[in-house]
């Protein structure tokens, strides 16, 4: 997955995750990427700092993941336009208030996923493959996998997304 810093035509800055640059371009062309602040769909890539990770970090990293069988394309950021109507322009809020709002929104997203999905634990990659290839019932699942297995699933055309990581997950 690639994380892009994005900017709308009103100069609001936000992040988006995409499988590759082609998915970003396709979703922008179809106006599926929207600013979470104002709802604008004229989106461009902003300046980004590279994310560097060592092979040792990648090998030991466990990636919580979820799948909701099977969208044909990488989905756009969830409900960007409707959320914009209820959000205050976060650029006007103090940083600590914005961070609290973001963490609370992530808690809600994660709680809904957990509430409406089956936890398959460390069998996530195997179970996602079984569902994709028709060997198991298609359903929403979540669990743990390595970053290499998550990448392999994506390369096989199996739609997976990381669950939001919360501050308490690091304690």
User: Is residue 162 exposed (0-12), middle (13-18) or buried (19+ Cβ within 10 Å)?
Assistant: middle
**Residue 68 located in a structural domain:** yes
Is 163 in contact with 110 (CB distance < 8 Å)?
yes
- In the structure encoding, which two tokens stand for residue 135, read together? 């060997």
**Residue 22 located in a structural domain:** no
**Residue 41 located in a structural domain:** no
Distances in Å between the alpha carbon of 20 and those of 25, 26, 127? 9, 10, 24
**Residue 39 located in a structural domain:** no
Could you read off the pLDDT of 17-28 as tens digits, one per residue?
888 888 888 999
**Residue 8 located in a structural domain:** no
Could you read off the pLDDT of 112-161 as tens digits, one per residue?
888 999 999 999 999 999 999 999 999 999 999 998 999 999 999 998 98
Tell me the C-alpha distance between 117 and 157, whole Å: 20
Q: What is the pTM of this model?
A: 0.45
Number of domains comprising the chain: 1
**Residue 30 located in a structural domain:** no
**Residue 9 located in a structural domain:** no
Range of the domain at 109: 60-170
């Amino acid at each position: 997955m690639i994380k892009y810093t994005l900017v709308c035509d009103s100069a609001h800055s936000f992040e988006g995750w995409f499988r590759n640059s082609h998915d970003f371009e396709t979703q922008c062309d179809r106006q599926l990427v929207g600013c979470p602040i104002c709802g604008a769909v004229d989106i461009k890539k902003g300046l980004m700092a590279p994310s560097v990770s060592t092979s040792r970090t990648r090998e030991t990293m466990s990636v919580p993941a979820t799948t909701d069988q099977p969208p044909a394309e990488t989905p756009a950021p969830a409900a960007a336009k409707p959320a914009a109507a209820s959000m205050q322009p976060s650029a006007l809020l103090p940083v600590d208030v914005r961070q609290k709002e973001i963490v609370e929104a992530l808690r809600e997203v994660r709680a809904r996923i957990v509430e409406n999905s089956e936890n398959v634990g460390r069998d996530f990659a195997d179970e996602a493959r079984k569902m994709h290839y028709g060997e198991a019932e298609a359903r929403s699942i979540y669990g743990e996998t390595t970053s290499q297995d998550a990448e392999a699933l994506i390369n096989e055309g199996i739609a997976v997304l990381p669950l939001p990581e919360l501050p308490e997950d690091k304690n």
